[in-house]
């Protein structure tokens, strides 16, 4: 194993744990104001959104259900014809329910577009989207999240659920990974 001390490979902290905590609290208030008394289903995209989901749902004092959808993209992640496959399908019935889709990062927008198309097939009453990070500059699908934690530049980030090669998800902050030298 190479020397893989996590702290050494994170170049800098982009969003601190405290800043995340504060912003998640604000998002909860915005979402609550919109969802009112409804009993929503929160649908989180595996795996990157789970830490965000865990913090977000604990801000709610009303009944809600949550479920996961697993998606994986094949190809290099940059080609427009790329296929997105479901590795876990929905298991909660969302027909007639208000749905909040939660994801970690909105990048090109292809994943979220595919998931929204999939969810529509089940006849939800409404679908709203909440992303922790928005890399606006990289978007190639016309999609606008209803709730955004932070807009960031075109940098590869890890931590707070987000990974590089399935690692760094456990970091309590969002960091920029040092490029390989
Ligand atoms: P999109 O389909 O291009 O919008 O891809 C969004 C997905 O790519 C996110 O849900 C993440 O899983 C992944 N992703 C995009 N940028 C990053 C990053 O900087 N770090 C970790 N994962 C990323
Ligand atoms: Mg993801």
> Token match 């978007």: residue?
139
Per-residue pLDDT, 179: 74
Helix (H, G, I), strand (E, B) or coil at 57: helix
Q: Which atom of ligand 1 is nearest to the CA of 108?
A: 3
Give residue 162 CA to ligand 1 midpoint distance, Å. Answer: 8
- Measured CA to CA in angstroms, residue 132 lies from 24, 45, 58, 79 at distances of 8, 12, 16, 24
Per-residue pLDDT, 79: 55
d(CA 63, CA 67): 14
Catalytic residue annotation: 107
Per-residue pLDDT, 22: 98
Per-residue pLDDT, 80: 54
CA dihedral (18, 23, 24, 25) in degrees, to 10, reads 100
Per-residue pLDDT, 103: 98
Q: Which atom of ligand 1 is nearest to the CA of 73?
A: 2
Query: To the nearest whole percent, how much of the chain has pLDDT over 70?
Result: 90
Intervals of the chain under pLDDT 50: 1, 77-78
Give residue 62 CA to ligand 2 midpoint distance, Å. Answer: 27
Per-residue pLDDT, 84: 86
Distance from the Cα of residue 95 to its chain's centroid: 22
Q: How far apart are the first and last CA of the chain?
A: 17
Give residue 105 CA to ligand 1 midpoint distance, Å. Answer: 5
Asked whether the bond before 47 is cis by omega within 30 degrees of 0, the reply is yes
What confidence tens digit (pLDDT) does each residue in 137-165 have? 999 999 999 999 999 999 999 999 999 99
The residues pairing with 157 across neighbouring beta strands, listed in sequence order, are: 176
Residue whose CB lies within 8 A of the most ligand 1 atoms, among 14, 107, 174, 175, for a mutation test: 107
Residue whose CB lies within 8 A of the most ligand 1 atoms, among 78, 133, 162, for a mutation test: 162
- Ligand 1 neighbours, Cβ below 6 Å, are 45, 48, 103-112, 156-158, 162-163
Per-residue pLDDT, 82: 66
Q: State pTM to two decimals.
A: 0.92
């Amino acid at each position: 194993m190479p020397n893989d001390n996590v702290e050494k490979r994170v170049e800098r902290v982009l969003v601190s744990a405290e800043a995340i905590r504060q912003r998640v609290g604000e998002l909860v208030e915005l979402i609550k104001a919109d969802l009112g008394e409804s009993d929503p289903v929160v649908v989180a995209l595996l795996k990157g959104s789970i830490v965000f989901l865990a913090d977000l749902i604990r801000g709610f004092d009303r009944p809600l259900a949550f479920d996961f959808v697993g998606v994986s993209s094949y190809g290099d992640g940059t080609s427009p014809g790329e296929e997105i496959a479901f590795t876990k399908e929905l298991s909660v019935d969302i027909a007639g329910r208000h749905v909040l889709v939660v994801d970690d990062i909105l990048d090109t927008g292809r994943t979220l577009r595919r998931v929204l198309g999939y969810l529509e097939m089940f006849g939800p009453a409404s679908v709203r989207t909440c992303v922790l990070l928005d890399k606006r500059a990289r978007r190639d699908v016309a999609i606008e999240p209803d709730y955004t934690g932070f807009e960031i530049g075109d940098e590869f980030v890890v931590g707070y659920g987000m990974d590089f090669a399935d690692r760094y998800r456990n970091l309590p902050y969002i960091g920029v990974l040092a490029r390989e030298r």
